[in-house]
């Protein structure tokens, strides 16, 4: 039987005289290697650390949290993990004068639709995001240094106002995209589109052919107006807050003085299409009649996608209930929740509600700040598509070996 104190044996059937596996010289050499590795690692870390002197204090404050945090001073603190220590991206915004057809997507075939008209209603985010990016410090006028490209279009509004029909919208989008060399270079992966309604990108009928790789900003990822194919992809697209009238998002600590829960008498609800426009208008009427109310959202949409789910823990500020169990059981459950729990959820919701308001970059917390952080996660160093190739000297060429700088529209789309 083998002894408990078995000693290590050399491999093979014969015994040979062996040198020690680790001499003192080896040990000293290993220590020197560890020390050198630590020294050079620290040196390179200092050498390549990005300079952040031109960023605001808010951008420079990293946090180890996994969720977004708003400080007592209303500063937006984004989690360091997956995002980086500060916002550092450059976005090029296409001008309607440089791309033939872009003006039609913004003002209709006759150019008569006023963009201010498109600020109202569900589609207002198309205009707001465009205007905010035009004034953004992250905007660049040089396409060659841009990380991302924003394609402005007020398609939903233009369609609703009779400025373009579905066929015209489709033809115009294809025409616009064929004039963008950078879109062809990346296959659209670094281009941003906003579709602010339940129809999503289906407003552009050929979206699945041309912009299925692009970044789509939309408030509704759970439904696409009875289409069989969803236009929302959770891995590349971003759910944004829906449009809220500017007059309802006035900043200030004294804006809301909520009544104690014991004095509240109403349970407001909106069941979307089940109630139609009448239910929506009634809910808006209630919100104007009782502006001092702060509530806990109860979500009754099983497939819902929510804004900024990467960093907002919705279990702390809302309730999601199965739509298959709507009835007296739901009301009994809501009545059973202790007031202190409800007050806690309202308090936590109050801390992040600024993420639902579209405001300028001068505001320390806004929906636009959150969108920029999410866009930063989409930035790629390298761009290519099925129609993009490169040579030994790093030059990018097309299938005919024409250099990227010489690509001229109209170009075949990837």
Considering the domain architecture, whether residues 349 and 374 belong to the same structural domain is answered as no
Q: Determine what percent of the chain is predicted with pLDDT higher than 70.
A: 67
Confidence of residue 199 (pLDDT cuts 50, 70, 90): confident
> Is residue 40 in some structural domain?
no
> Would you state the pLDDT for residue 211?
95
* Contact predicate 367/240, CB 8 Å: yes
The region of weakest confidence among 4-18, 214-228, 244-258, 321-335 is 4-18
Considering the domain architecture, whether residues 366 and 297 belong to the same structural domain is answered as no
> Is residue 52 in some structural domain?
no
Considering the domain architecture, whether residues 240 and 367 belong to the same structural domain is answered as yes
> Would you state the pLDDT for residue 33?
57
> Is residue 238 in some structural domain?
yes
What pLDDT digit, counting tens, does each position of 331-343 carry?
899 989 998 999 9
Considering the domain architecture, whether residues 199 and 299 belong to the same structural domain is answered as no
The region of weakest confidence among 17-21, 166-170, 172-176, 293-297 is 17-21
Considering the domain architecture, whether residues 127 and 267 belong to the same structural domain is answered as no
> Would you state the pLDDT for residue 189?
95
The region of weakest confidence among 251-255, 260-264, 402-406 is 251-255
In this structure, the strands spanning 191-194 and 91-93 are: unpaired
Which is nearest to 270 in space by CA: 253, 282, 254, 252? Answer: 282
Which is nearest to 232 in space by CA: 205, 214, 247, 246? Answer: 214
Helix (H) or strand (E) segment spanning residue 333: helix 328-336
CB neighbour list of residue 154: distance below 8 Å, 6 or more residues apart: 105, 106, 107, 113, 115, 118, 123, 126, 127
Considering the domain architecture, whether residues 177 and 238 belong to the same structural domain is answered as yes
> Would you state the pLDDT for residue 323?
85
> Would you state the pLDDT for residue 351?
87
Q: Determine what percent of the chain is predicted with pLDDT higher than 90.
A: 43
- Residue where a domain stops, chosen among 304, 325, 353: 353
> Would you state the pLDDT for residue 310?
87
Q: What is the mean pLDDT of residues 236-265?
A: 70
Q: Is the pLDDT of residue 216 over 80?
A: yes
Q: What is the mean pLDDT of residues 114-128?
A: 88
Higher local confidence (pLDDT), 331 or 174: 174
Considering the domain architecture, whether residues 212 and 257 belong to the same structural domain is answered as no
Distances (CA, A) of 254 to 222, 286, 292, 360, 364: 35, 20, 10, 20, 17
> Would you state the pLDDT for residue 131?
95
> Would you state the pLDDT for residue 3?
37
- Residue where a domain stops, chosen among 353, 381, 402: 353
Long-range contacts of 165-172 (CB under 8 A, 24+ apart): 166/203, 166/205, 168/104, 168/109, 169/105, 169/203, 169/204, 169/205, 170/204, 170/205, 170/206, 172/101, 172/104, 172/105
> Would you state the pLDDT for residue 23?
63
Q: Round to the nearest angstrom and report the end-to-end CA distance of the chain.
A: 72
> Would you state the pLDDT for residue 291?
57
> Is residue 62 in some structural domain?
no
> Is residue 30 in some structural domain?
no
Task: Give the count of domains, the chain.
Answer: 2
- Residue where a domain stops, chosen among 353, 374, 407: 353
> Would you state the pLDDT for residue 210?
93
Considering the domain architecture, whether residues 96 and 225 belong to the same structural domain is answered as yes
Taking phi over 0 as left and psi of -120 to 50 as alpha, with beta for the rest, 74 belongs to left
Considering the domain architecture, whether residues 141 and 287 belong to the same structural domain is answered as no
SS3 35: helix
Considering the domain architecture, whether residues 266 and 130 belong to the same structural domain is answered as no
Considering the domain architecture, whether residues 235 and 208 belong to the same structural domain is answered as yes
What pLDDT digit, counting tens, does each position of 276-321 carry?
566 566 666 766 666 556 788 898 888 889 999 988 999 999 999 9
> Is residue 298 in some structural domain?
yes
> What integer best gives the mean pLDDT of the chain?
79
Question: Token digits for 202?
Answer: 């289906």
Bridge partners for 79 per DSSP: 63
> Is residue 218 in some structural domain?
yes
> Would you state the pLDDT for residue 231?
85
Peptide bond into 296 cis (omega under 30): no
Higher local confidence (pLDDT), 50 or 389: 389
Confidence of residue 113 (pLDDT cuts 50, 70, 90): very high
Question: Token digits for 276?
Answer: 């139609």
> Is residue 31 in some structural domain?
no
Q: Which domain holds residue 349?
A: 251-353
The region of weakest confidence among 61-65, 258-262, 359-363 is 61-65
Considering the domain architecture, whether residues 157 and 224 belong to the same structural domain is answered as yes
> Would you state the pLDDT for residue 370?
92
In whole angstroms, give the CA distance from residue 198 to residue 407: 36
């Amino acid at each position: 039987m083998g002894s408990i104190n078995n000693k290590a044996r050399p491999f093979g059937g014969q015994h040979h005289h062996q040198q020690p596996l680790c001499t003192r010289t080896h040990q000293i050499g290993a220590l020197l290697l560890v020390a050198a590795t630590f020294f050079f690692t620290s040196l390179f870390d200092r050498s390549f650390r990005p300079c952040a002197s031109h960023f605001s204090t808010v951008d420079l404050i990293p946090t180890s949290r996994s969720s977004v945090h708003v400080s007592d001073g209303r500063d937006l603190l984004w989690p360091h993990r997956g995002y980086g220590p500060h916002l550092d991206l450059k976005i090029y915004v296409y001008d309607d004068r440089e791309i033939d057809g872009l003006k039609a997507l913004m003002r209709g075939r006759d150019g008569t639709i006023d963009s201010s008209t498109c600020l109202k209603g569900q589609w207002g985010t198309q205009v707001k995001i465009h205007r905010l990016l035009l004034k953004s410090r992250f905007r660049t006028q040089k396409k060659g240094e841009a990380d991302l490209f924003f394609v402005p279009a007020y398609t939903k509004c233009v369609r609703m106002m009779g400025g373009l029909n579905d066929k015209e919208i489709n033809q115009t989008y294809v025409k616009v995209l064929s004039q963008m060399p950078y879109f062809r270079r990346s296959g659209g992966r670094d281009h941003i589109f906003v579709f602010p309604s339940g129809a999503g990108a289906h407003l552009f009928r050929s979206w699945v052919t041309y912009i299925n790789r692009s970044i789509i900003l939309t408030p509704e990822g759970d439904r696409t107006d009875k289409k069989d194919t969803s236009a929302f992809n959770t891995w590349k697209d971003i759910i944004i807050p829906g449009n809220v009238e500017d007059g309802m998002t006035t900043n200030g600590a004294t804006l809301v003085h909520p009544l104690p829960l014991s004095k509240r008498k109403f349970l407001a609800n909106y069941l979307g299409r089940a109630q139609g426009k009448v239910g929506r208008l009634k809910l808006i009427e209630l919100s104007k009649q009782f502006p001092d109310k702060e509530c806990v959202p109860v979500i009754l949409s099983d497939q819902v996608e929510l804004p900024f789910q990467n960093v907002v823990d919705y279990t702390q500020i809302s309730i999601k209930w199965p739509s298959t169990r709507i009835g007296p059981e739901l009301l009994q459950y809501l009545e059973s929740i202790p007031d202190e729990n409800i007050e806690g959820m309202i308090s936590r919701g109050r801390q992040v509600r600024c993420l639902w308001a579209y405001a300028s970059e001068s505001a320390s917390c806004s929906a636009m700040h959150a969108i920029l952080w999410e866009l930063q996660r989409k930035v790629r160093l390298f761009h290519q598509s099925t129609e993009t190739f490169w040579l030994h000297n790093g030059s990018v060429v097309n299938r005919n070996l024409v250099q990227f700088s010489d690509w001229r529209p109209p170009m075949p789309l990837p």
